[in-house]
C-alpha cells in the first residue's frame, strides 16, 4: 500500500495547475474582446475561429490520451508529455498576445495558427497531468483531496489571469499590456512544470490497459454507462459555465457599465471559488460527491439568475452575484474529476485495466467542445440580435446580451441538475 501523499507533495503536483489556468482564462475571456475591440475583427469572425480551432483541437485530445496510456503501459512516465508541452505553450501564448501589425486577413490567420499551437500544447500537458492525478490514490475521498489541491492552485492562476492583463492593459495599453502578460507567463509555466515533475506523489502501479489501437481504446470509456451519464451532466453544466465566461467582459462593460471594475468582479468570483473548495470537499465526504455537486448547482442557479435583472451602476448587486455563484464554482472544479476517477475503477474491476489517459482525453475533448460551443453560438447570436462590442447598442440588444449571459446558463445548469439527480450517482445515495 502506498503511503498517503503529504501536503508538500500535493502542493508540488498542484503547482502546474496555476499556469495552466493562467493560460485558459485569457483564451476564453480576453481573446474575443482583444481581437474584436483592439484589433478590429468582427465578433462573428472571432467566434467562428474559436469554434473551428476548438473543434480541431478537441479531436486530438483522445489521441494524446491513448498515447499517454501506451507510454505508461511501457513503463515510462506521463511526465514526458508535460515536459514537451510546457515550452510550446509558452511560445504559443507569446504569439497569441503579441500579434503583428497586419490587416484583418493576416490577423485571422495569425489567430488561427497561435490558437492551434496553444491548444495542442495545452492538451499535451493537461491530459497526462490529470491522468497522473487520478493515479495518485485509490481512495475515493483522497481523490477529492488531490483534485482540490490542483484546482486550488488553478484558482490562484485564475486570480493572476483576471487581474494582471487588466492592470497591465490599463497602465500600458491593450497591445503592450497583453504582450507583457504573455512574456511573464513563459518562465512561470516552465518553473511550475519542473516543480510538478520533480515533486509530485508517484502514481500507483496499474494493470496496463489492453493494447488496442488509438480509436479502439476509446470504446472502453464510451462502453462504460457510468461514464456516459457523468459526461452528459458535465456537458450541460460545462456549457452553462462557458457562456458567461465568454460574455462576462461585454456584460460588465455594457450592462453594468463599469469596465474599470472588471478585475474586481473576476477576482471576487474566483476568490469565492477558492474559499468554497474546502466546503465542497467536506460536504462530499458527508453526503457524497454527486449530492454535494447537486447542491452547488442549486446555489449557482439561485444566485446567477438575478444577473438578468441588473442595469447600469448595479455594482454591489453584481459583486454579490459573483461571490455567491463563485462559491458554487469550487464544486464544479473539484468534484467532477474526482467522480471520473471513481468511474474508471469499474474498468479495472471487470478486467479491462486502467485507461486514465483515454478517459481524460475524452474529458478534455468535452471541456473544449463546451468552450467552443459557447463562443461559436453566443457571439454570433448576439451579433444577430444587433449587439456590437464598443457600439451604441439599442435596449433590445442589451436585453439579448443579458438574457444570453444570465438566463441561458441557468436553464442549461437546471437541465444538468436534473440529469444528475436521475443518475445512479445520486439515486444510489438515496436508497
Statement: residue 88 has pLDDT above 80: yes
Closest CA to 64 of 345, 369, 352, 356: 356
Helix spans in 135-224 (H) = 140-172, 174-199, 214-217, 219-222
Residues in CB range of 118: below 8 A, 6 or more apart: 23, 27, 89, 92, 93, 96
pLDDT band at 18 (very low <50, low <70, confident <90, very high): very high
Residue 1 pLDDT:
44
Q: What is the mean pLDDT of residues 346-353?
A: 64
Contact (Cβ atoms closer than 8 angstroms) between residue 255 and residue 39 = no
Q: Which residue has the higher pLDDT, 260 or 301?
A: 301
pLDDT tens string 354-382: 667 777 777 777 777 777 777 777 878 88
Mean pLDDT, the chain, rounded, equals 83
Pick the CATH number of 11-201+212-430 from 3.40.50.970, 1.20.1290.10, 1.20.1250.20, 1.10.10.10: 1.20.1250.20
Closest CA to 333 of 132, 90, 158: 158
Q: What is the mean pLDDT of residues 297-316?
A: 94
Q: What is the mean pLDDT of residues 88-97?
A: 92
pLDDT band at 421 (very low <50, low <70, confident <90, very high): very high
pLDDT band at 409 (very low <50, low <70, confident <90, very high): very high
Contact (Cβ atoms closer than 8 angstroms) between residue 321 and residue 270 = no
Percentage of residues of the chain with pLDDT beyond 90:
26
Residue 262 pLDDT:
84
pLDDT tens string 175-222: 888 888 888 999 999 999 999 999 988 877 655 555 555 555 567 777
Task: Determine the Cα–Cα distance for residues 112 and 283; give it in Å rounded to an integer.
Answer: 43
Contact (Cβ atoms closer than 8 angstroms) between residue 65 and residue 81 = no
Residue 354 pLDDT:
63
pLDDT tens string 99-112: 877 555 678 888 88
Q: Which residue has the higher pLDDT, 383 or 248?
A: 248
Task: Kindly report whether the global pTM for this prediction surpasses the value 0.85.
Answer: no
Residue 430 pLDDT:
44
pLDDT tens string 147-164: 888 888 988 887 788 778
Contact (Cβ atoms closer than 8 angstroms) between residue 267 and residue 319 = no
Amino acid at each position: 500500500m502506498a503511503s498517503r501523499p503529504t501536503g508538500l507533495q500535493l502542493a508540488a503536483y498542484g503547482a502546474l495547475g496555476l499556469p495552466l489556468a493562467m493560460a485558459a482564462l485569457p483564451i476564453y475571456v480576453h481573446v474575443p474582446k482583444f481581437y474584436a475591440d483592439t484589433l478590429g475583427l468582427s465578433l462573428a469572425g472571432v467566434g467562428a475561429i474559436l469554434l473551428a480551432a476548438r473543434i480541431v483541437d478537441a479531436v486530438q485530445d483522445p489521441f494524446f490520451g491513448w498515447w499517454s496510456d501506451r507510454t505508461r503501459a511501457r513503463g515510462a512516465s506521463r511526465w514526458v508529455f508535460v515536459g514537451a508541452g510546457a515550452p510550446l505553450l509558452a511560445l504559443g501564448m507569446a504569439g497569441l498576445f503579441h500579434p503583428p501589425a497586419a490587416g484583418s486577413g493576416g490577423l485571422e490567420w495569425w489567430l488561427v495558427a497561435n490558437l492551434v499551437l496553444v491548444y495542442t500544447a495545452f492538451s499535451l500537458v493537461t491530459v497526462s497531468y490529470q491522468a497522473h492525478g487520478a493515479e495518485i490514490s485509490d481512495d475515493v475521498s483522497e481523490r477529492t483531496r488531490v483534485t482540490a489541491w490542483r484546482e486550488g492552485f488553478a484558482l490562484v492562476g485564475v486570480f493572476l489571469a483576471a487581474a494582471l492583463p487588466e492592470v497591465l492593459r490599463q497602465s500600458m495599453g491593450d497591445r503592450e499590456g497583453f504582450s507583457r502578460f504573455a512574456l511573464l507567463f513563459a518562465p512561470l509555466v516552465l518553473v511550475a512544470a519542473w516543480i510538478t515533475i520533480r515533486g509530485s506523489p508517484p502514481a500507483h502501479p496499474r494493470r496496463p490497459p489492453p493494447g488496442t489501437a488509438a480509436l479502439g481504446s476509446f470504446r472502453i470509456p464510451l462502453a462504460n454507462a457510468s461514464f456516459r451519464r457523468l459526461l452528459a451532466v458535465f456537458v450541460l453544466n460545462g456549457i452553462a459555465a462557458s457562456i458567461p465566461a465568454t460574455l462576462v467582459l461585454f456584460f460588465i462593460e455594457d450592462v453594468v457599465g463599469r469596465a474599470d471594475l472588471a478585475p474586481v468582479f473576476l477576482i471576487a468570483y474566483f476568490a469565492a471559488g477558492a474559499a468554497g473548495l474546502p466546503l465542497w470537499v467536506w460536504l462530499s465526504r458527508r453526503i457524497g460527491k454527486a449530492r454535494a455537486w447537486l447542491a452547488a448547482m442549486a446555489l449557482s442557479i439561485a444566485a446567477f439568475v438575478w444577473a438578468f435583472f441588473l442595469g447600469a451602476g448595479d455594482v454591489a448587486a453584481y459583486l454579490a452575484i459573483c461571490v455567491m455563484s463563485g462559491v458554487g464554482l469550487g464544486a464544479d472544479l473539484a468534484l467532477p474529476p474526482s467522480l471520473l476517477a471513481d468511474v474508471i475503477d469499474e474498468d479495472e474491476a471487470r478486467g479491462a485495466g486502467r485507461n486514465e489517459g483515454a478517459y481524460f482525453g475524452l474529458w478534455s475533448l468535452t471541456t473544449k467542445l463546451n468552450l467552443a460551443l459557447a463562443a461559436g453560438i453566443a457571439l454570433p447570436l448576439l451579433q444577430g440580435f444587433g449587439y456590437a462590442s464598443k457600439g451604441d447598442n439599442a435596449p433590445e440588444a442589451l436585453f439579448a446580451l443579458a438574457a444570453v449571459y444570465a438566463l441561458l446558463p441557468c436553464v442549461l445548469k437546471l437541465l444538468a441538475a436534473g440529469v444528475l439527480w436521475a443518475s445512479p450517482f445520486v439515486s444510489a445515495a438515496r436508497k
